[in-house]
Amino acid sequence: MAAVALGSTLTSCVDDLDTTPIDPNYKSGDKIYVSAESYKQGLSKLYGSFVLAGQEGAGDNADIAGGDPGSTVYTRLLFYCQELSTDAAIAAWNDGDIKEFHNQKWTAGNGFVGNMYTRLYLTIGFINQYLRDTEPGKLISSLTSEDLKNIEQYRAEARLLRAMVYYNALDLFGSVPILTEADPVGKFKPEQKTRKEVFTFVETEVNDIENLLAEPGSNEYGRIDKGAAWALMARMYLNAEVYINESKYTECIDYCKKIMPFYSLNDSYEELFMADNHLKTNEMIFAFACDGLNSQTYGATTYLIHAAIGGDYVPANAGINGGWGGNRVTSAFVNKFDQNNDKRAMFFTEGQSLEIDQIGEFTEGYMLVKYTNKNSDGTNGSDDNFVDTDFPIFRLADVYLMYAESVLRGGNGGSIGEATSYVNQLRTRAYGNTSGNITEADLTLDFIIDERARELSWECMRRTDLIRFGQFSNSKYLWPWKGGLKDGKSVDSHYNLYPIPLSELNSNSNLTPTPGY
């Protein structure tokens, strides 16, 4: 993935993120965009910002300075927030404040939470500058009509990427500022918007750009299209009761139905998480592209694969040169699977105990070896350290489950019969036969939350799902080490949101602390 030099190392707060970088290596838009190809290279920087630490990938020149560059990568931070805070993952490491995630005791001073917030707005800043530099009046004169059409689509893709970032901000932090290309370049203090306003911004953006995007499945791999836009809307509407206290399940069903005709399930579940999963585009609606040679990173799936391996597991079996002994799953998560028959129970148990008595002991807790740097033909990826496995953002299986849940929650336009059929397609694939299939009577909300755990493990949705089902912070569902106790305990509901970081509050008087922090 090529990346053009659009920015420099940024360590400042959000009110500084839309400034022109003071860096001798920085090149302004009129120096960067000198050909039709350069506009596409600029777009690649935006895609790369989700999986790379900075301009040099895994190198020292990270966008966010200080500490381990890998732990500043968007997708790795998202995993910390979305999975380490749940029953699905627990870290053996002592890095910084990382144990605050599974203890559900984070504060506004948590460094990883602060990096997540900074990474969100840094990515927004990159996108905003790209949109400023590609305004019609600023384009170079040598472009053809076809070039102009392409750039119009690039801009729509950039806006959809920004909408995805704002969705993550909405989900993780709730009430946040909205910055666009229309805001001034220079130091200013953006106003905080309500969760409803952020929700409406995302909704409006997607509606505005939908017709400018490529048709589902027609764009080159690694770039978004209408299918990704529809999937983002479906996911946001599924969670609308949490975000804005409004039921949008009918709208979720509508978007799921728009998506389904363009995609089909892959025959093999395991292949979706292998080094050549870019070939499985029949199910993959959108994924962040990773390349062990050309987009090297210690985030994304390089992190997911290495950090999940240690103990008696042979790293070469996953196509890598070593494990980091980091992440395992809790027994509560393991127990949701039929380990004898469900192929999604991709746990390594040899030398591992089911229960975790000491969090720092990696051999306590099963490994989840769902992601691998092996190709589907058994060969290795292109590099044994940095991996080729793309990170799935939207895939058809999630759409099937969103449809089923929305039907159960009272949305119009769907049926229990169809919902059951879609779920059984997932279970037939998982079991290899129909022995795991369910009846319409079996399809309940309790079943759905567990089926989402089985199907979508480590795809950065677990926290959001548990919150939607009222199982994240309270005593309705306890798992080992929730709240910092071995048997788990209830925590206050203010932990359903991450706090606006102290650094932001101190630098921007227009921000107010997240309630409860």
The pLDDT tens digits for 448-493 are 999 999 999 999 999 999 999 999 999 899 999 999 999 999 999 9
- Cα separation, 98 vs 67, in Å, equals 13
**In a domain? residue 375:** no
pLDDT of residue 241: 98
- Cα separation, 448 vs 453, in Å, equals 9
Q: What angle do CA 134, 137, 142 make, to 5 degrees?
A: 80
Q: Select from 37, 52, 68, 67 the least CA-distant residue to 7.
A: 52
- Cα separation, 378 vs 113, in Å, equals 38
In this prediction, residues 194-199 reach a mean pLDDT of 98
Look at the chain and report how many structural domains it folds into: 1
**In a domain? residue 69:** yes
In this prediction, residues 421-427 reach a mean pLDDT of 98
Q: Which domain holds residue 44?
A: 29-291+391-507
- Cα separation, 89 vs 386, in Å, equals 22
**In a domain? residue 350:** no
Single-letter residue type at 149: K
E strand or H helix that includes residue 178: none
CB under 8 Å to 499, separation ≥6 — which residues? Answer: 106, 107, 108, 110, 113, 173, 513, 514, 516, 517
- Averaged confidence pLDDT in the chain: 93
Compute the residue count for the chain: 517
Structure tokens at 95: 């890095």
pLDDT of residue 19: 36
pLDDT of residue 483: 95
- For 89-127, what is each residue's pLDDT tens digit? 999 999 999 999 999 999 999 999 999 999 999 999 999
Local confidence band at 27 (pLDDT 50, 70, 90 cut-offs) = low
**What share of the chain has pLDDT > 90, as a percent?**
89
Q: What is the CATH number of the domain that holds 175?
A: 1.25.40.390
- For 348-363, what is each residue's pLDDT tens digit? 999 999 999 999 999 9
Point out which residues pair with 287 in neighbouring strands.
392
- Cα separation, 237 vs 447, in Å, equals 20
Local confidence band at 184 (pLDDT 50, 70, 90 cut-offs) = confident
Local confidence band at 229 (pLDDT 50, 70, 90 cut-offs) = very high
- Cα separation, 116 vs 426, in Å, equals 32
- Cα separation, 339 vs 66, in Å, equals 42
pLDDT of residue 57: 67
**In a domain? residue 363:** no
In this prediction, residues 310-338 reach a mean pLDDT of 98
Point out which residues pair with 367 in neighbouring strands.
348
Task: Report whether 71 contacts 462 (CB < 8 A).
Answer: no
Local confidence band at 11 (pLDDT 50, 70, 90 cut-offs) = very low
pLDDT of residue 22: 34
Q: What angle do CA 192, 195, 201 make, to 5 degrees?
A: 85
- Cα separation, 180 vs 153, in Å, equals 18
Q: Select from 171, 187, 77 the least CA-distant residue to 123.
A: 77
- Cα separation, 349 vs 328, in Å, equals 11
**In a domain? residue 251:** yes
pLDDT of residue 3: 36
Point out which residues pair with 364 in neighbouring strands.
353
pLDDT of residue 28: 55
**In a domain? residue 6:** no
pLDDT of residue 41: 96
Residue 432 has pLDDT above 70, yes or no: yes
**In a domain? residue 411:** yes
pTM given for the model: 0.94
- For 361-397, what is each residue's pLDDT tens digit? 999 999 999 999 999 999 999 999 999 999 999 999 9
Report strand pairing: 90-91 vs 327-328.
Answer: antiparallel
Structure tokens at 350: 């040899």
In this prediction, residues 19-36 reach a mean pLDDT of 60
Residue matched to tokens 């105990």:
353
**In a domain? residue 422:** yes
